[in-house]
Structure formats: C-alpha cells, structure tokens
Homo-oligomer: A and B are copies of this chain.
Amino acid sequence: MGLTKTEIYTKEQNKIAAMAKVIGHPARVAILQHLLKVQSCICGDLVDVVGLSQPTISQHLREMKSIGLIGGSIDGTKVCYCINKKTYEEFRDMFGNFFGQNLNPEDCC
C-alpha cells in the first residue's frame, strides 16, 4: 500500500528511520556535503551545485528543514541555508549508538 504501519513500532524506531530516510536520497546527501563545505549558502547555489531544477531543490530543502537538519533565514529575496548544529549532533549520536555496538567476531551465517 506504500503506507508504513508506524503504529506498530516504538517511537525510537520511527525516529531512527525518519532520520535515516532524509539522508536516503543522493540529492540531500549532496546538499549536506555542500553545506558542510561552505557553511552556508542560498538555494540558487544548491540548484547549480546539485544539478536539479529549482522546485526540486526547494522540495528537498523543505524535507531537510522539517526534520530540523537545516535551517533557513530570509535575506531579502534570498534564503540562506545552513546545518542545524544541534540536530546534526543528534544524528551523530543516534547513528553512533546504532552502529557502535560490538558484534561477535565471526559471522554466523
């Protein structure tokens, strides 16, 4: 049905999935990488850097903003985007915990 049954999962499971999902598209990876490099930039820069249309970039930015990964501040007709440090560190902690566990030395399967 294309509809995830969120109600059968824990809050943590849904949160982790939502955080991973926003990284799960190469355009959003490219946007994050650019913001990591230049600290902040406007929407139009990302259109040039990534190579998608302006509406498409705008939509990806909205998704990243809605989960709090980036912030945007209006500056005239332009909007300056940058990474939200607090959320970025939340992502670091979450993925760090999730993939920081010790597994048995040898695979069983």
Contacts and interface: CB of A to CB of B under 8 A. Distances in A.
A107 to B, nearest CB: 6
Interface string A74-93: 00000011111100110110
A33 interface: yes
Contacts of A85: 103-107
Interface string A1-36: 000111011100110111011111111111011001
A105 B95 CA distance: 21
Contact of A80 (B84, B92, B109): B109
A20 B17 contact: no
Best-surrounded residue of A10, A25, A50, A101 (most CB of chain B within 10 A): A25
B30 A9 contact: yes
A100 interface: yes
